[in-house]
Amino acid sequence: MQTGDELILKIEDFSNLGYGIARVEGFVIFVENSCPQDVVKIKLTKVTKNYANADVIEIITPSPHRVKPFCAMQKVCGACQLQFIDYDYQLELKRQITEEAMHHIAGLNIEVPLTIASPQIKEYRHKVQYPVAETKVSKRLLAGYYKQKTHEIVNIKHCPIQPAICDKIIEFIRENAPKYCVSGYNEKKHTGDLRHVVLRCSTSTGKVLVTLVVNSTKVFENLKKFANIIYEQIPQVVGVCINFNPQKTNVILGEKSECICGEYFVEEKILDKTFKIGSNTFFQVNPKSAENIFRYVKDYIKNNLQDAVVLDAYAGVTSFGICISDVCKQIVSIEENSESVRLGEKIAKENGITNIEFHSGDAAEFFKNETRKFDAVILDPPRKGCTKESLDEAFRLSKETIIYVSCNPATLARDLKILTEKGCRVECIQPFDMFCHTYHVENVAIIYK
């Protein structure tokens, strides 16, 4: 086989990165935009010694799980890779992705239950980050998601996975920014003003915080006028902030932000707690699905631990600690982002919560200096997972239970392998659908020492 060859194959399996898997005499071919049980004509785009990649030329016999995508931009936009697969089967595929990671990476013979569905599968995404550019000749602003495997912006006028108000705000910015001489960003030349628009939407209030990310170190007068027009003209906008990012980087947000008008945060309610979310605050993009996860952890602690003292590591604004505070004796929270810690303290105070002890600093360093033992340790690390040192310390500090919340089955499986080699037992793993229509899956693992 070589690049350019065309074959007719049946898709047998599904990979953890959202590709269909076909095999020719045991040789694996990863096929984009395909679903198990599809019979497809494919063209090989890359061939290596161990595997090949391919694109679909023709669907000869569609899988019974194929559906028509509800978004007209699904094939060109890189945001919803699985929208052509029916939702119930998406949940099953995510369960399989988790279970296979446990078997193949962690060496765990564990049965993973069906993924818990998102309460919303449309308009669920309440954090929107659109890159902005402009056309060469007309200087018309473009804003949307990147086309798959490129930095070419798909100019999206309507996105059904985010609240409808987001489309209205983005269109207003596209139409009005040029009137205030606010230009779009040129990534190659590192010129222009507006790099990204970041929206944080509240499911509980319907309000939106708008952040304009600019290629600048300060607010210029026209930008200030434009921010005020957004705030004045769109009633749902609770505030407009400017974030300064003059660096030549792919990082979206710079370190410094300034609130130009209105509030610098939007309020969100999870379970019975009210959170304040700023433009640079880490908070789940799907609040309703996040609520399912918080409830799951809270119910576990309520039903299995009495007067629990819990360590909440990689805590962000201490979302877990705040949500479970009323079923625990004490929460000890550790987060390296000092802004998140200050906001967490403010949120706890406004919710009347007095049993959380906040710490700012690196989790691994905090672990080393901590001598207390905890009834449960909650780990909620980024996609790269925990370091071995952090896992060693979490093991040391936990009396009996570790609750590991992960957005990456592969790194979760790797870390569970380390813990089981230390003598831990994985009681259960529950997948949750946080990012509908993508291959991403969130998991909560309950681990006993």
Residues forming beta bridges with residue 133, ordered by sequence position? 142
Q: Are the beta carbons of 279 and 225 closer than 8 angstroms?
A: no
C-alpha 440/C-alpha 383 separation (Å) is 11
Q: Give me 59's structure tokens.
A: 């669907």
Q: Give me 201's structure tokens.
A: 């939407």
What is each CA distance from 28 to 37, 46, 62, in whole angstroms? 16, 12, 20
C-alpha 270/C-alpha 288 separation (Å) is 8
C-alpha 16/C-alpha 36 separation (Å) is 13
The letter for the amino acid at 1 is M
Which residues belong to the active site? 407
Specify the DSSP element, H or E, that contains 57: strand 51-61
Q: Are the beta carbons of 102 and 108 closer than 8 angstroms?
A: yes
Please name the residues in contact with 58: beta carbons below 8 A apart, sequence gap of 6 or more: 40, 41
Please name the residues in contact with 132: beta carbons below 8 A apart, sequence gap of 6 or more: 141, 142, 143, 153, 173, 184, 185, 194, 195, 196, 197
Total length of the chain: 449
